[in-house]
Structures are given as structure tokens and as C-alpha cells.
Chain A
Amino acid sequence: MSQVKIITDSSADLPAGVAEALGITVLPINIHFGQKVYRDGIDLTRQDFFERLARNTAHPTTSPPPLALFEQTFSDLMKQTDEIVAIHLSSKLSPTFARAQRAASPLMGRAKIHVIDSQLVTVGLGLLVTAAARAAENGARVDEVVRLTRGMIPRVYIAFFAETLDYLERGGRVRKAQAILGGMLNIKPLLILEDGDIVALEKVRTRAKAVEKLVEFIVEFTHIEKMVILHSTTPDDVSLLIEQTNLALPGLDMKVDVYGPAIGTHLGPSALGVVVYEGM
């Protein structure tokens, strides 16, 4: 029996090499700078993206992988397996999940295709995808992979703050956070993903306080299995966050990563966040 195949999208911000090593298919989210369209991770690296972001006055936008790409990917994979699990970023943040479902439904009779709304994004989604791929590699069947993935979703938490609200507002991804964000003052909101939606938890005005809030968020967990700090251009904040978190939770292993273009389009530069997986 052939192995379960895992599909995701580039918003999972998988570390380099992981997709290849675990046989994960990553569909690129499209990043639009004006008229130009780049495929995330293929035509555009993280470094290119942030350089472009700094240069361009116009804000970038995103679009999901085209339907045809999903159809093509599914039929290609069906030549190798009849069990596929597609795990995508929160359906509340992008139509990618819906598109995957649409592409999968006519094929359901011919293969077991499960499309999962992760209700997460970036490294949070990445954790799910990696765990699913590892399970598949170890011979788990499709139902087990789905159960594992769904079980992890409520145990992964994402909190972050953006330096400015401009990108989030332009992207229209903050419906639920509107009330807290409608301020006249320049504010840095602390945002969390709740059931896949961006929700504003509270707002602060200085980066120092924002870091403090992230530390408060982290130390509330009784157990942390994995934690990743996400940033783009602010290594000093990362050091501060690590230092302060270590004071409260000495010995906690914290990985640091740069968030990618798919989410970077909506956060802008200089955002800082954490992804926490509390374990099963």
C-alpha cells in the first residue's frame, strides 16, 4: 500500500529542505506587487520579498494558487497514491482551502482526499503539516493522519503584533479585530488566531510593551512542546523576547524563524510573533 501524500501551501513557512525530505507538496501562494505576480517560494524568496516590501510604496496583495494547479497536483499525486491529505491555511484568511475542496470533490470517488482547514497559518500550519508527513512516513493511514492533524489544531497557538495596522487593514483580514483597531492613535495591537480568525487581544503603543505582552502570553502555558519565534527585520526584539521569556521559563527551547511572504503581505515588516504547540 502506498504512502499517504501531504499537500499544503506556501503560507506554512516550512523550513528549507523539510518539504523535500518529507515528500510534502507545497503549492505557492501568489504575491502581487502591482502588476507583477510572484509565486511564493518559487519566484520570490523571503529575502527578496522584504527587500521589495521596503522599496515599494504600493502594498502587495496575495491570491490563492489557481484551481488548475490544485487539479493538476491531485491528479499527479493520484498516480502514486490513493490517499491524500491537503492541509491549508485558515479558511477565514484565504480562499485557498475552499479552492482545494473544489478541486478535490470531483475526485473523491477515485481516491481518499481529505482537505483540512488548519485554522492556522505560517509555522503553526507548518507544525501540523510536518507532523502529518512524519506520521505518513511511518505508515499511518489516511484516517489516522487526519485524526492526528485535527487533534493538533486546538493545541497550536499563534500570537503576534504588527508594527503598523496598514497592511492588515488593506488586506481586509481583521474583520473581528476592527473594534479594537479603529483607534486614532498609532497602536500596535497584540493579535491572536482564534478559530482561524485574527482577533485583537489588546493594544499597546510601544515595542517594549508588545514584547512584554508576548512574554505574558507565553508564560501562561503550563506545558510547551514546541515554540517558534517569528520575525522579519527585528533581531533585537527577538533577543529581548528570548531573554525575558527565559527569565520566566528557564531552559525553554525557542526556535527563531522569519515569516514568509504569504503572511508578510498582511503583517508588513517588523512584526513579531510566537507559535506555541502545547503537545498532545
Chain B
Amino acid sequence: MATLATDLIPLKQVNGSELKRIFGASASWLAQHAPYVNSLNVFPVPDGDSGTNMSMTMQAALREIEHSPSHSAGEICAKLAQGALLGARGNSGVILSQVLRGFARSVADKDAIDARDFGEAMVEGARAAYRGVQKPIEGTILTVIREAADAAVQAAGQTDDFVRVLERTVDAAQLAVIRTPMLLPVLKEAGVVDAGGEGLYMILEGALKYLKGEPMDFSSTSVTAENLERISRAEGWGYDIQFHIRGPGLEVDTIRERIESMGESALIVGDEALVKVHVHAPNPGDIIKFGAEQGPLINIMIENMQAQYVDFMEGHTADERVGAENLGGFESETARPVASEPPVGIGTVAVAPGQGLRRIFESLGVGAMVSGGPTMNPSARDLLDAVNQVAAEQVLILPNDKNIILAANQLKELTTKRIEVIPTRTVPQGIAAQFAFDRPGDFETKVRNMTAAAQRIRTIELTTATRSVTLNGLAVREGQYLALLDAELAAAGDHLEELAVEQVRRASSSASEIITLYYGAEVTAEQAEQLRARMQHEFADHDVEIYNGGQPLYPYIISVE
């Protein structure tokens, strides 16, 4: 292979075709290590996984250049950056996309890049990354890209051997990663290095391994981003499948019988001319195929129903890298339009996990919904699709998760529509903001009203600890219940209901009136009703309401207002 460097023939520059292969190697290396990067989760709650998010972002970037015939480094990088921008998921994915973008801008007019170009491009990447966040924090991916870039520039001043420069860059990145806990106390307390920084290091290391011709061990136990989707399917996480079959001559009873045998909760209605199918099943393929054999299909909608969450506990040993390796499965969840909305000037897009929560948002007049949440960060493209579906030129986005806010902000440069992100960190904050949306006013007024409304509501989220850790003086055992108050870790306990009541007591005041329980997919209606009754007893001066939220991994999301 022409690009293999040896000690005898120093590699002076790489062109577009070579860059394609280098990035391919980077992406593979990162994907192989995604479960490990995911395990570097500071907070022991199921939430946005940096490894998965960065890996998905890299994959999206690669798809843009896969079929590009270009040999120009500048063109390849530009396409790559564009792909990353649209495919960015989670905060680490967004920052990675900024790095790629700065890098691409720096080499825009170059057919091939040498060591010096690489150093400068890395610096531009670092600058773009810093600019992309409002409040840069050291001890994160930002520190890693900056120190790696500095090392690259320095090395390029001493040698024009591309591989040597990359070696020094990788070394600096690794050192920076190791140092992250010294810069960011919360990492030290949690006993981990920064996940995003580690992901970036893997990307650089993958490139180096490729250039040095070192084996990239694709071990059979490791999970690559590509096959995650297959795994989540094989594990039988359910899909929500809906479509209509056009007649004539449809045999409703036969169709019903067959589809009922292929899935659960099947609802098949219609006549010879049109049959509506709604079913939950582990594999949408067979059902769609059967449907298509009956007649032309229209209005097809397939949606991942709930937790696409796979535990990769196996093979994880108790080394210094503490933690369970949780890897969020992911689907490219397409946004789906909500009830036909009059083309008014301003609309909203909301992100929510769980069908129940999405229905609540829809009923409140959201313009378009995006499936996603703590463990399923939608990509910038998913959000963009939803924005485009809203019949309005000005769109307000409710990310409803702290790890989605940054990706939502990306949209401002991806669409001609006017975009503003209401920084909602929880679902109830989003619901409160949507309530305030109806209040008359122009765009700026709505932004103000909605932001204020989101800040006024208190949110309690209950979930299970994904690992044992001591954080902010709070000792948490893996498997214990955790309570988050306004998206911050607040308490741990062995009894879910106790924890819920205790936190509601903390969040309520003489001025609050309503406690709303949104129960998750793993809670039964009876259990939820029991908690409701108990809450009503404990907080007699409040109204307590329950709704089936259907969210995965969080048995209860509770709001107090």
C-alpha cells in the first residue's frame, strides 16, 4: 500500500484518497473502543454515551466520503466535516464535529497535506472546538485536542515526517487524557478519565496505527458501531410498526391473523380497500414484507419503542478502569410529523423518550417530535429533519436533555429557518416550556417566556445506578436507585418509592400545587397508582397526577410545580 510509511521512506504528505483510508481506520479504532469509552461515565446514571455518540458521528462523517471520487485532501475534509456536522450526537459528538470542521477549513484549498499543514489544521480544529461551547471546561476533550494540536505544531517544526509528527501528537493526546482527572475534580472523584478526550485519543491513535501498518485487532468480542444496530435487534427490543395497506380485495381477517402471530398488541382494522396495521414486534422486516405482499403500503412508520440498551458486561475486568460498560443501542430515529399544523410563523420541536411522553408533547401542540433522550441522543440530522417538518419558518427546540442541547444548537447553521434552543434539561422542563409557548408574543418573547417557565418547574428523575461510585460525598452502589433533582445527582437509596417521596418533599413548597408522575416502561400502572396514592397521602395539599410516559430506564420522572 502506497501510504504505508516505513523508517526508510518518510511520508511527507497525504492526499485525499489516503485521508479517506486514515479516517476509516480512525473510525474503526474508535468503534472498537466505544464500549470502553462509554464506561468512562462520570455519573452512574444511564445517559448519553460518549463512545457511542462519537463513533456514530464518525460513521456519519465517513458515509459522506465513502463514494467520493475526489483525491483532494481539502475536498475530502470538507465533506467529512459536513457529514460530522449533520451526524453529530451528544455533546462529545458535537465537539468532535467542530474539531473536524476547523481542521477542514484549515486545509480547504489543499490537494495534499504535509506535517506542517496537519499541525495548523489541528490548531484550527482546537479553536473551533473551544468556540463551539459556551463555557469551555478544561480536563475534557477540549484540553486533549488543544494539547495534541500544540504537540503537532511543535513536532512539525522539527521534522517533516508525517508519521513522526502524528506519533508525537498521539503521545500528547494520551498524556492529556491521563491528566484530565487532575484538571477536572469530578473525574478524579469518579475514578475515570474524560470519555470524550479518550475518544479523540482513539481517533488519533487509529490514524497512527494505520500509517504505521500496525494490526488493528478486530477482536470478535468487541463491538463496532456498525453492528450495534444488529445487536439491539437480535436482543429483541421492540419496534412500533404502523402502515396502511391499499386494496382492493384485502382480506382483513387473514391479515389480522397473520400479523397477530408475528407480533404483540396488534391492531388491524379496515376493509377490502384499506387496512390499517399497528403492531409491536421484534423485527419489522417480516411484517413489512408480509404487508407488501397484500398490497401497496403507504404511511409506513417504524419506531424503536423503548430501551435500546445493551449491557456489555462480559469481558470487563476489574482493572483501574472502573465501571460497567453500557452501550446504548441506537436507531436512526426519524422524526415524525405531528397532527397537521396550520402554517403559522413559529413552531416547536421536542425530543422525548417513550411514546407516552411523546404523545403528551404532541397533545400540547408540538410541531414535530424526535425520539430520544438520555441514552438515545438524536443526531443533528434527526433534529434537522424534525425542524424541516414543522410548518413554520421560526422553530424553537426543546432538547429536554443536557446532552442534546449542544447538538440542537448546531442546527442554527444547518437550516435557513430561524432556530432557537430552549435549554431544557429534563422532560418536565420541556413540558413547562411548551405550555408557555402558547402565550402570545413574538419569537424573542416566546424564547424568554419558555426559558423562564422551564426554570420554574422542579424535576425529579429516578433511575438505577449503573456502577458503584462516590460523588459529591454521595456513596452509590451499583443497582441502587438514584434520584436526580433538576438533572443533578441528589440521592441514592434501596427503595424507589421512598426515594421519590423524599425528593418530592425537597422539591415542593407551600407555593407548589401539582405533582405529576410520568411512569416508565418498566413500571406497571398498578405500581404507579400505588405511588400516586402514597404521594397524595403525603402531600395532601397538592394535586397528584399520573401519566404513562413509557420512558426506558427511568421508572419515574416527576415534576413539582
Binding site for B on A (CB under 8 A): 179-180, 182-187, 200-208
B448 to chain A, nearest CB (A): 13
B552 to chain A, nearest CB (A): 20
Assuming A179-B365, A203-B435, is B516 touching A185 (CB within 8 A)? yes
B528 to chain A, nearest CB (A): 15
Most-contacted residue by chain B among A180, A205, A206 (CB, 10 A): A205
Give 7 nearest A-B pairs by CB, closest first.
A202-B438, A206-B513, A202-B439, A184-B363, A183-B363, A184-B360, A183-B364
The distance in angstroms between the C-alpha atoms of A93 and B438, with both chains bound, is 23
Contact pick for B513, options A180, A184, A207, CB 8 Å? A207
CB of B511 within 8 A of chain A?
yes
- Asked whether, in the complex, the Cβ of A201 is within 8 Å of the Cβ of B440, the reply is yes
The distance in angstroms between the C-alpha atoms of A203 and B436, with both chains bound, is 7
Contact pick for A205, options B359, B365, B514, CB 8 Å? B514
Contact pick for B438, options A184, A186, A200, A206, CB 8 Å? A200
CB of B547 within 8 A of chain A?
yes
Residues in B whose Cβ lies below 8 Å from that of A183: 360, 363-364
Q: Closest A-chain residue to B364, C-beta based?
A: A183
**Interface residues of B, count at CB 8 A:** 20
- Asked whether, in the complex, the Cβ of B513 is within 8 Å of the Cβ of A208, the reply is yes
Contact pick for A185, options B511, B513, B545, CB 8 Å? B545
Given contacts A183-B364, A203-B438, 12 further A-B contacts (CB under 8 A): A182-B363, A182-B365, A183-B363, A184-B363, A185-B360, A185-B364, A201-B439, A202-B435, A202-B436, A202-B438, A202-B440, A206-B512
The distance in angstroms between the C-alpha atoms of A206 and B359, with both chains bound, is 21
Most-contacted residue by chain B among A182, A185, A200, A207 (CB, 10 A): A185
Residues in A whose Cβ lies below 8 Å from that of B514: 205-206
CB of B333 within 8 A of chain A?
no
Q: Closest A-chain residue to B441, C-beta based?
A: A202
- Asked whether, in the complex, the Cβ of A180 is within 8 Å of the Cβ of B365, the reply is yes
Q: Closest B-chain residue to A216, C-beta based?
A: B439
Can you give 6 contacting A-B residue pairs, CB < 8 Å? Answer: A183-B364, A184-B363, A185-B360, A202-B435, A206-B514, A207-B513
Residues in B whose Cβ lies below 8 Å from that of A187: 435
Binding site for A on B (CB under 8 A): 359-360, 363-365, 431, 435-436, 438-440, 511-514, 516, 543, 545, 547, 561
The distance in angstroms between the C-alpha atoms of A205 and B360, with both chains bound, is 14
- Asked whether, in the complex, the Cβ of A204 is within 8 Å of the Cβ of B365, the reply is no
Q: Closest A-chain residue to B449, C-beta based?
A: A202
Most-contacted residue by chain A among B360, B514, B543 (CB, 10 A): B514
The distance in angstroms between the C-alpha atoms of A201 and B436, with both chains bound, is 10
The distance in angstroms between the C-alpha atoms of A186 and B511, with both chains bound, is 19
- Asked whether, in the complex, the Cβ of A186 is within 8 Å of the Cβ of B545, the reply is yes
The distance in angstroms between the C-alpha atoms of A232 and B263, with both chains bound, is 53
Residues in B whose Cβ lies below 8 Å from that of A180: 365, 438
Residues in B whose Cβ lies below 8 Å from that of A203: 364, 435, 438
The distance in angstroms between the C-alpha atoms of A201 and B437, with both chains bound, is 10
Most-contacted residue by chain B among A182, A200, A202 (CB, 10 A): A202
The distance in angstroms between the C-alpha atoms of A208 and B360, with both chains bound, is 22
- Asked whether, in the complex, the Cβ of A185 is within 8 Å of the Cβ of B431, the reply is yes
Residues in A whose Cβ lies below 8 Å from that of B516: 185
Residues in B whose Cβ lies below 8 Å from that of A182: 363, 365
The distance in angstroms between the C-alpha atoms of A179 and B360, with both chains bound, is 14
Residues in A whose Cβ lies below 8 Å from that of B511: 208
Q: Closest A-chain residue to B435, C-beta based?
A: A203
Assuming A180-B365, A185-B547, A206-B513, is B360 touching A201 (CB within 8 A)? no
B46 to chain A, nearest CB (A): 26
- Asked whether, in the complex, the Cβ of A184 is within 8 Å of the Cβ of B561, the reply is no
Residues in A whose Cβ lies below 8 Å from that of B360: 183-185
Residues in A whose Cβ lies below 8 Å from that of B561: 205-206
Q: Closest B-chain residue to A213, C-beta based?
A: B439
The distance in angstroms between the C-alpha atoms of A200 and B513, with both chains bound, is 22
A30 to chain B, nearest CB (A): 34
A175 to chain B, nearest CB (A): 15
B333 to chain A, nearest CB (A): 22
Residues in B whose Cβ lies below 8 Å from that of A201: 438-440
Residues in B whose Cβ lies below 8 Å from that of A202: 435-436, 438-440
The distance in angstroms between the C-alpha atoms of A145 and B183, with both chains bound, is 80
B60 to chain A, nearest CB (A): 34
Contact pick for B359, options A179, A184, A186, A200, CB 8 Å? A184
Most-contacted residue by chain B among A187, A201, A206 (CB, 10 A): A206
Q: Closest A-chain residue to B548, C-beta based?
A: A184
Residues in A whose Cβ lies below 8 Å from that of B436: 202
Residues in B whose Cβ lies below 8 Å from that of A206: 512-514, 561
Residues in A whose Cβ lies below 8 Å from that of B440: 201-202
Q: Closest B-chain residue to A186, C-beta based?
A: B545
- Asked whether, in the complex, the Cβ of A204 is within 8 Å of the Cβ of B545, the reply is no
The distance in angstroms between the C-alpha atoms of A167 and B440, with both chains bound, is 25
The distance in angstroms between the C-alpha atoms of A274 and B363, with both chains bound, is 28
Most-contacted residue by chain A among B360, B364, B511, B547 (CB, 10 A): B364
- Asked whether, in the complex, the Cβ of B435 is within 8 Å of the Cβ of A204, the reply is yes
The distance in angstroms between the C-alpha atoms of A202 and B364, with both chains bound, is 11
The distance in angstroms between the C-alpha atoms of A202 and B438, with both chains bound, is 5
The distance in angstroms between the C-alpha atoms of A175 and B392, with both chains bound, is 23
The distance in angstroms between the C-alpha atoms of A203 and B365, with both chains bound, is 11
Residues in A whose Cβ lies below 8 Å from that of B545: 185-186
B549 to chain A, nearest CB (A): 11
Residues in B whose Cβ lies below 8 Å from that of A184: 359-360, 363-364, 547
A150 to chain B, nearest CB (A): 26
Q: Closest A-chain residue to B362, C-beta based?
A: A184
A144 to chain B, nearest CB (A): 36
Q: Closest A-chain residue to B356, C-beta based?
A: A184
Residues in A whose Cβ lies below 8 Å from that of B435: 187, 202-205
Most-contacted residue by chain A among B365, B435, B543, B547 (CB, 10 A): B435
The distance in angstroms between the C-alpha atoms of A202 and B365, with both chains bound, is 12
- Asked whether, in the complex, the Cβ of B439 is within 8 Å of the Cβ of A185, the reply is no
B546 to chain A, nearest CB (A): 11
Residues in B whose Cβ lies below 8 Å from that of A185: 360, 363-364, 431, 516, 545, 547
A198 to chain B, nearest CB (A): 15
B355 to chain A, nearest CB (A): 12
Residues in B whose Cβ lies below 8 Å from that of A200: 438
